[in-house]
Amino acid sequence: MEKKYFVTSAEMKKYDKTTIEHFEVPSLVLMERAALETAEEIEKRFKKGSRVLVISGTGNNGGDGIAVGRILMQRGYEVDFVLIGEQAKCSKETRRQLDIIAKYECPMKSKIESMEYDIIIDALFGIGLSRNVEGIYKNCIETMNDICGFIVSVDIPSGINADTGEVMNAAVKADITVTFAYEKLGHILYPGCEYCGEVLCKDIGITDESFLGEEPLVYSYADRYKEQAAALMPARNRGGNKGTFGKVLVVAGSRNMSGACELCARSAYRIGAGMVKIVTPEENREIIQKNLPEALLSTYSDAEKPEAWEVFSQDLKESMKWADCIVIGPGIGKSGTAHRLFEYTVKESAKDLVIDADGLNLLAESEELQESLRTAALREGRQIIITPHVAEFARLYGCKPEEVKKDIISKTKKLADRLCGTVVCKDARTAVAHYEERCVYLNVTGNDGMATAGSGDVLAGIIAGLLAQGGKGREAALTGVFLHGRLGDLAAEKTGRYAVMAGDLTEQLKYILSDEGKRR
């Protein structure tokens, strides 16, 4: 699978350093390449004679900016240079850039004197931003945002934290961001991604060799899969039958709450599972048979009564034997029956398990069941995938939702390690971690239209459908999350983000995988 990495500032600095020290590429060569790439993006958009303002800080980001200005000046643009901060504090490379423009007799100013520019080069702070922006720096960022010109941020908009995407008290709102070698987490996480404009990632000679064997912690699927989603699917055997394409057991819904199980089961079918059986209260029978006649059904009533449970649990045991994997939780509630069903599914089966929604709340309440799942994963290789949104995650993890949002990557990994499974932490950028893998997947598909009831039920069904077709827990989760986001994007293209409903996502499965084979 082709990956795309998102790096932290510490990782990027390490790769810079390796390229400079281990591979002996001079730092000024990297800076010149970065500047050339940035200048070329400006030349594509603006003609010679355009007025350019370069705002530099004292770090190497500032040096990049000065070099961009110098190249544009040599190519016929009208360039003004401003340095914010003390010259004496400039990095070695930035001092060198100052010396070069001094030789060309370009004056360096210490404040912005005009608001009349076509282009602003934002090179105040790059990945070296280490604290909140205050005083003259904050004023400078606000002035850049006030000038009417087109803003090109060098590497990252000044004021955005490259690791978390946080706004450090003030940040530049760029039209484009030209970054180098790898996109940073701050380009992709919210709110940072909303400040970048279009992100253009340029090769300046820092390559995967600079990892020296240890790849970055965070990755996603390469962009090409957005157009070629079917390439992520498990190969489909033309000689297969409904048994070989996998059997999913959906334990979902509660009395007169049939929507969640229907969405989940339908999604499992649409992603390609051969058979789907729904376990739900008897009251839901009629509506499910009407809406989803393809689903097999096993219903229960009065399961709180011991004799009824006795009979039904035997039936459930048979269903669990029949299934290749189980999904439990959507719409199940937290009643006594829900507890029983959940406990039984965890303890009496070794089949791969997707836990969603209320199932996660039941899991959060029971250390004993968490321990059972850990043991089953380690001893029997049972694959456990949990799909919490941020609030459910916080309950399981034992922290506040805000803390999850601030540190989604490492917390998702820690929870996966604790549960010995795959954890899908659903947010605007969903993270997926697996206990046996060091790296964490960060999803870049999807949109806010998907923040709608039932969207999670669809994801749980998709992941279970992929598991049933033989996918490993980790891959099923990654592919499921990526596809789910693509479904949301396609649905939003059709209706706009406001109008997207969960059923629309499943509907899009009809189209997104229709090119299977052609694009593999």
Ligand X SMILES: NC(=O)C1=CN([C@@H]2O[C@H](COP(=O)(O)OP(=O)(O)OC[C@H]3O[C@@H](n4cnc5c(N)ncnc54)[C@H](OP(=O)(O)O)[C@@H]3O)[C@@H](O)[C@H]2O)[C@@H](O)CC1
Is the Cβ of residue 127 or residue 261 nearer to ligand X in the bound state? 127
Is the Cβ of residue 126 or residue 471 nearer to K ion in the bound state? 126
Tell which one of 7, 25, 34, 460 touches ligand X (CB under 6 A).
Answer: 34
CA distance 260 to 262: 5
Please identify, among the stretches 158-166, 185-193, 208-216, 433-441, the one whose residues bind K ion according to the rule CB under 5 A.
158-166
- Identify the bridge partners of residue 248 per DSSP, sorted by sequence position: 276, 325
CA distance 171 to 141: 6
- Identify the bridge partners of residue 121 per DSSP, sorted by sequence position: 54, 152
Look up residue 190 and give its two tokens.
Answer: 């919210």
Q: Does 177 bind K ion (CB under 5 A)?
A: no
Cβ atoms within 10 A of the Cβ of 199, count? 17
Distances in Å between the Cα of 238 and the Cα atoms of 30, 117, 242, 327 are: 51, 62, 11, 27
Please identify, among the stretches 3-11, 145-153, 379-387, 446-454, the one whose residues bind K ion according to the rule CB under 5 A.
145-153
Q: Does 38 bind ligand X (CB under 6 A)?
A: no
Say which entry of K ion, ligand X, none residue 153 contacts (CB below 5 to 8 A, set by partner kind): K ion
- Yes or no: say if 124 and 84 are a contact pair by the CB < 8 Å rule: yes
Please tell me whether 428 is known to bind a ligand.
Answer: yes
Q: What is the DSSP letter of 256?
A: T
Say which entry of ligand X, K ion, none residue 27 contacts (CB below 5 to 8 A, set by partner kind): ligand X
Residues 208, 209, 213, CA angle at the centre, nearest 5°?
90
Q: Does 158 bind K ion (CB under 5 A)?
A: yes
Is the Cβ of residue 154 or residue 425 nearer to K ion in the bound state? 154
Distances in Å between the Cα of 193 and the Cα atoms of 128, 133, 173, 181, 276 are: 18, 18, 10, 17, 39
Q: Does 191 bind ligand X (CB under 6 A)?
A: no
Spatial neighbors of 375 by CB under 8 A, at least 6 apart, are none
CA distance 324 to 319: 10
- Yes or no: say if 166 and 407 are a contact pair by the CB < 8 Å rule: no
Binding positions for ligand X, 169-188, rule CB under 6 A: 180
Say which entry of K ion, ligand X, none residue 435 contacts (CB below 5 to 8 A, set by partner kind): none
Q: Does 192 bind ligand X (CB under 6 A)?
A: no
Tell which one of 131, 238, 379, 518 touches ligand X (CB under 6 A).
Answer: 131
- DSSP-based three-state secondary structure for 380: helix
Look up residue 120 and give its two tokens.
Answer: 């602003």
Q: Does 15 bind ligand X (CB under 6 A)?
A: no
Please tell me whether 122 is known to bind a ligand.
Answer: yes
Using CB under 6 A, count the residues that bind ligand X. Answer: 28
Is the Cβ of residue 129 or residue 492 nearer to ligand X in the bound state? 129
Q: Does 61 bind ligand X (CB under 6 A)?
A: yes
Q: Does 492 bind ligand X (CB under 6 A)?
A: no
- Yes or no: say if 179 and 155 are a contact pair by the CB < 8 Å rule: yes
Please identify, among the stretches 125-133, 390-398, 447-455, 456-464, the one whose residues bind ligand X according to the rule CB under 6 A.
125-133
Question: Among 333, 264, 256, 312, which residue's Cα sits nearest to residue 287?
Answer: 256
- Yes or no: say if 431 and 440 are a contact pair by the CB < 8 Å rule: yes
Q: In angstroms, how far apart are the furthest CA atoms of the chain?
A: 93
Using CB under 5 A, count the residues that bind K ion. Answer: 4
- Identify the bridge partners of residue 56 per DSSP, sorted by sequence position: 83, 123
Is the Cβ of residue 154 or residue 458 nearer to K ion in the bound state? 154
Please tell me whether 62 is known to bind a ligand.
Answer: yes
Binding positions for ligand X, 93-112, rule CB under 6 A: 93
Q: Are strands 119-123 and 108-109 parallel, antiparallel or unpaired?
A: unpaired
Please identify, among the stretches 57-65, 139-147, 218-226, 496-504, the one whose residues bind ligand X according to the rule CB under 6 A.
57-65
Tell which one of 8, 58, 430, 479 touches ligand X (CB under 6 A).
Answer: 58
Please identify, among the stretches 151-159, 262-270, 280-288, 485-493, the one whose residues bind K ion according to the rule CB under 5 A.
151-159
Residues at the binding site for AMP are 426-430, 456
Which residue ranges are tagged as binding site? 60-64, 122, 126-132, 137, 155, 158, 260, 331, 389, 426-430, 456-457
Binding residues for ligand X, rule: CB under 6 A, are 16, 27, 30-31, 34, 57-62, 64, 89, 91, 93, 125-133, 137, 154-155, 180
